[in-house]
Amino acid sequence: MALFIFKTEPSECAFADLSPSKPTQWDGVANPGARAHLRTCREGDEVFIYHTGDEKAIVGLARVVGSPYEDPKQKGLNDAGQPKAPVVDLVAVKAVPKPVSLAAVKADAKFKDFALVKQARLSVMPVPAAIEKALRKLAGL
DNA sequence: GCCAACGTTGGC
DNA sequence: GCCAACGTTGGC
């Protein structure tokens, strides 16, 4: 079971907009690297929702429902025969007890190679197994 | 197929 | 509001 981080503008699709029961389609991912990560999502994977903008913090935990599929608004396959614009459905699990700010992640040397601080403009990324525990702990999970 | 110019994201 | 990072586009 994998853990991911999805970044979002809270004004676009905030964690609070996700429902615990009715899956929300997570679309609009354009960056090729982010899309590649999105294609690796599987049923039951967990997703930290990170708010950009003024908050800059991991605020919630969600869960992947089903498998990635083609964005109905952008159909088509890439060269590898995969959906060109993959989307996944998410349901809310819960708000994290302790939001993890970007500043807190940056301040901890354990996370210095983490994509969240290293790679700008990546809106979907996996959380490496090596730091998963530390990140969960920071979030109070 | 290279690379300069441009656009967008997102932190500061 | 600025600017660094980085993807994309288009001229050659």
pLDDT of the residue at A29: 93
Could you tell me where the DSSP H helices lie in chain A?
A: 10-13, 32-39, 102-107, 115-118, 129-138
Tell whether the model's pLDDT for residue A113 goes beyond 90. Answer: yes
pLDDT in tens, A50-95: 999 999 999 999 999 999 999 998 888 776 778 889 999 999 999 9
Residue with tokens 């990635």: A68
Nucleotide nearest to A119 (CA to C1'): C5
Per DSSP, A61 falls in state: E
pLDDT of the residue at A91: 98
Tell whether the model's pLDDT for residue A141 goes beyond 90. Answer: yes
Burial degree of A141 (CB within 10 A; 0-12, 13-18, 19+):
middle
Nucleotide nearest to A120 (CA to C1'): C5
| Closest C-alpha among A66, A65, A80, A1 to residue A35 | A80
- Distance from residue A121's CA to nucleotide C6's C1', rounded to whole Å: 8
pLDDT in tens, A8-63: 999 999 999 999 999 999 999 999 999 999 999 999 999 999 999 999 999 999 99
pLDDT of the residue at A84: 87
pTM given for the model: 0.95
pLDDT of the residue at A66: 97
Per-residue pLDDT, averaged over A104-129, amounts to: 95
Q: Which residues of the protein are close to the nucleic strand B, CB under 7 angstroms?
A: A 7, 9, 30, 52-53, 56, 102-103, 106, 120-123
